[in-house]
A and B are shown apart, each in its own frame.
Chain A
Amino acid sequence: MLPTTAQRRTRTAAGATDGPSTATTGGKTPKADPRRSTRKAGSAGRHLHAGRITYGILLLFTAGSLFPLIWTAIAASRNNQRLAETPPPFWFGGNLFSNMTTAWQDANMGKALLNTTFVAGSIALSTVLFATLAGYAFAKLRFRAKNLLLMMVIGTMMVPPQLSVVPLFMAIAELEWTNQLQAVILPMMVNAFGVFFMRQYLVNALPTELIEAARVDGAHSLRIVWHVVFPVARPAMAVLGMLTFVLAWNEFFWPIIALTQDNPTVQVALTGLGRGYIPDESVIMAGALLGTLPLLLAFTLFGKQIVGGVMQGAVKG
Chain B
Amino acid sequence: MTSSRTEPLPGVREAGRPAPADGDRERSPERRGRRRHRWDARWSPYAFIAPFFVFFAAFGLFPLLYTGWASLHKVSLHDPTHMEWVGMRNFSRLLEDDFFWNALQNTFTIGVMSTVPQLLMALGLAHLLNYKLRGSTFFRVAMLTPYATSVAAATLVFTMLYGRDYGMINWGLGLVGIDNIDWENGTWTSQLAVSSIVIWRWTGYNTLIYLAAMQAVPDDLYESAALDGANRWQQFLHVTIPSLRPTILFTVVVSTIGATQLFGEPLLFGGSQTGGGSHQYQTLGLYLYEQGWFDFQLGRASAIAWTMFLILIVIGLVNWLIARRLNKTH
Q: Would you list which residues of chain A between 37 and 93 have a CB under 8 Å from chain B?
A: 37, 41-50, 54-55, 57-58, 61-62, 64-66, 68-69, 71-72, 75, 83-88
Residue-wise interface mask of A (124-148) relative to B, using a CB-CB cutoff of 8 A (1 in contact, 0 not):
0000001101101110111100100
Contact in complex: B64, A141 (CB < 8 Å):
no
Counting CB contacts under 8 A, is B112 at the interface? no
Contact in complex: A166, B257 (CB < 8 Å):
no
Contact in complex: A75, B160 (CB < 8 Å):
yes
A75→B158 CA distance, assembly (Å)? 12
Contact in complex: B80, A270 (CB < 8 Å):
no
Residue of B nearest to A38 (CB): B2
Contact in complex: B55, A189 (CB < 8 Å):
yes
Q: Would you list which residues of chain A between 259 and 317 have a CB under 8 Å from chain B?
A: 266-267, 270-271, 273-276, 281, 284-285, 287-289, 291-292, 295-296, 298-299, 303-304, 306-307, 310-312, 314-317
Residue of B nearest to A295 (CB): B148
A68→B176 CA distance, assembly (Å)? 21
Using Cβ atoms and an 8 Å threshold, which residues of chain B touch A14?
Answer: 218-220
A3→B156 CA distance, assembly (Å)? 40
A interface, over-half SS: helix
Contact in complex: A61, B143 (CB < 8 Å):
yes
Counting CB contacts under 8 A, is B322 at the interface? no
Q: Total A-B residue pairs with C-beta atoms closer than 8 Å? A: 387
A66→B149 CA distance, assembly (Å)? 11
A162→B312 CA distance, assembly (Å)? 12
Residue of B nearest to A311 (CB): B212
Using Cβ atoms and an 8 Å threshold, which residues of chain B touch A41?
Answer: 215
Select which of A156, A168, A203, A273 is within 8 A of B63 by beta carbon.
A168
Using Cβ atoms and an 8 Å threshold, which residues of chain B touch A65?
Answer: 142-143, 145-146, 200, 203-204
Contact in complex: B215, A44 (CB < 8 Å):
yes
Select which of B40, B203, B208, B316 is within 8 A of A158 by beta carbon.
B316
Counting CB contacts under 8 A, is A209 at the interface? yes
Contact in complex: B45, A137 (CB < 8 Å):
yes
Among B95-103, B184-192, B274-282, B299-307, the one that faces the other chain is B299-307
Using Cβ atoms and an 8 Å threshold, which residues of chain B touch A295?
Answer: 148-149
Counting CB contacts under 8 A, is A94 at the interface? no
Contact in complex: B137, A253 (CB < 8 Å):
no
Give chain A nearest CB distance to B118 CB in angstroms: 12
Counting CB contacts under 8 A, is A117 at the interface? no
Counting CB contacts under 8 A, is B120 at the interface? no
Q: Would you list which residues of chain B between 109 and 152 have a CB under 8 Å from chain A?
A: 121, 125, 128-133, 136-152
Counting CB contacts under 8 A, is B225 at the interface? yes
Q: What are 26 A-B contacts with C-beta separation under 8 Å? A: A17-B219, A20-B227, A45-B215, A46-B131, A58-B139, A69-B146, A130-B55, A137-B48, A137-B49, A142-B13, A149-B49, A149-B53, A158-B257, A164-B64, A166-B305, A168-B59, A169-B80, A189-B59, A205-B6, A215-B41, A252-B152, A274-B159, A296-B148, A299-B145, A303-B144, A307-B141
- The 4 A-B pairs at the shortest CB distance, nearest first, are namely A20-B226, A164-B63, A15-B219, A303-B141
Residues on A close to B: CB < 8 A? 3-12, 14-15, 17, 20-21, 23-24, 28, 37, 41-50, 54-55, 57-58, 61-62, 64-66, 68-69, 71-72, 75, 83-88, 130-131, 133-134, 136-138, 140-143, 146, 149, 152-153, 156, 158-171, 173-174, 186-190, 192, 195, 203-205, 207-209, 212, 215-216, 218, 220-222, 225, 246, 249-250, 252-253, 257, 266-267, 270-271, 273-276, 281, 284-285, 287-289, 291-292, 295-296, 298-299, 303-304, 306-307, 310-312, 314-317
Given contacts A55-B133, A141-B44, A190-B51, 18 further A-B contacts (CB under 8 A): A11-B218, A46-B130, A48-B232, A50-B128, A58-B125, A62-B143, A69-B149, A71-B157, A88-B167, A137-B44, A170-B81, A203-B9, A267-B264, A270-B150, A270-B152, A287-B156, A314-B213, A317-B250
Residues on B close to A: CB < 8 A? 1, 3, 5-9, 12-13, 16-18, 33, 36-37, 40-42, 44-49, 51-53, 55-56, 59-64, 66-67, 70, 75, 80-81, 121, 125, 128-133, 136-161, 165-168, 171, 174, 200, 203-205, 208-209, 211-213, 215-220, 222-223, 225-227, 232, 235, 246-247, 250, 257, 260-261, 263-264, 267-268, 271-272, 285, 288-289, 292-293, 298, 301-302, 305-306, 308-309, 312, 316
